[in-house]
Amino acid sequence: MDFPGRLVRLLKTSPRVVALTGAGVSQESGLRTFRDAQTGLWAQYKSEDLASPQAFARDPKLVWDWYAWRREAVKAVRPNAGHYALAEMARHISNFTLVTQNVDGLHRMAGSPDVIELHGNIQRVRCSVCGEFADDWIDDPVSVPRCSSCGGMLRPHVVWFGEPLPRPELEAAIEASQVCRLFFSIGTSGVVQPAATLAHAANDRGAIIVEINAEPTPLTSTADYFFQGKSGVILPELVKAVWL
Ligand code: OAD
């Protein structure tokens, strides 16, 4: 793939860079994106209808089981070439901030340091009442495991629809986006707020917006460069074009 000389030259100067990733970067690891239709056991539900406090209040066991199933799916996969390319970019760019909406932990597994996880991490579990983290619990076929401190129901440590994002992570992501020279939006449909506003925060301050996605998105018309295709192919090619 040919990358514009201006982009390659700019990356070589090690500017401040932010990369925001979404479910698309993990697609080539074998994880379904958030808006893919579900299959099998879960085909009758939409992800959006399971990832909410209302869903948990209505049927906690259903939501717990869905996350337990997703947790196992995540444990079975490995980072792909896109995750590794982003880890490599962090080694070349001194001020590189990786922000992800993914809860799968694959960026860390690929060696990316200091990942800002905006939506939490699916491998962690906390009490829905007192917030204490639980390292282990006993699964029960009929009910949701309980907190050993207060007896509240355990829940995944992820952000659900309608819940606020963790403030320190959001503030760090906004701050980095406002001062970066280059902003990458990779494998995200860009429809979920407030993550979707980060690209606009960067654009408003004059950053160059680069989008990598299998399909055009609402951001595409704003982006300075749009590379259509798989992030697991495009990102390693970009790294090769700039640094190898
Ligand atoms: P989506 O499922 O909304 O979008 C995935 C994006 O990845 C789409 O735009 C696809 O075109 C693109 N895509 C798929 N495969 C790709 C590949 N191999 N390479 C590059 N792009 C690819 O996922 P997100 O944008 O991450 O939040 O969704 C954002 C948030 O919505 C999620 O974190 C989740 C959900 O609601 C919460 O649960 C709070």
Average pLDDT, the chain: 94
In this predicted structure, what is the pLDDT of residue 79?
98
Residue 21's nearest CA partner among 107, 87, 100, 96 is 100
- Sign of the torsion formed by the C-alpha atoms of 181, 28, 237 and 221: negative
The arithmetic mean of pLDDT across residues 150-174, rounded, is 96
Residue 58 predicted with pLDDT over 80: yes
Q: Is 28 in the pocket of ligand 1 (CB under 6 A)?
A: yes
In this predicted structure, what is the pLDDT of residue 114?
92
Q: Which of 44-48, 139-143, 184-188, 230-234 has the lowest mean pLDDT?
A: 44-48
Q: Is 156 in the pocket of ligand 1 (CB under 6 A)?
A: no
* 119 classed as catalytic: yes
The arithmetic mean of pLDDT across residues 49-77, rounded, is 94
Q: pLDDT tier at 194 (50, 70, 90 boundaries)?
A: confident
CA of 101 from ligand 1 middle (Å) equals 8
Nearest atom in ligand 1 to the alpha carbon of residue 212 is 20
Nearest atom in ligand 1 to the alpha carbon of residue 160 is 39
**How confident is the model over 100-117, as pLDDT tens digits?**
999 999 999 999 999 999
Contact 147, 132 (CB under 8 A): yes
Please spell the DSSP secondary structure of 25-38, one letter per residue. Answer: HHHTTTPPPTTSPP
Which residues on adjacent β-strands are paired with residue 156? Answer: 125
Residue 43 predicted with pLDDT over 90: no
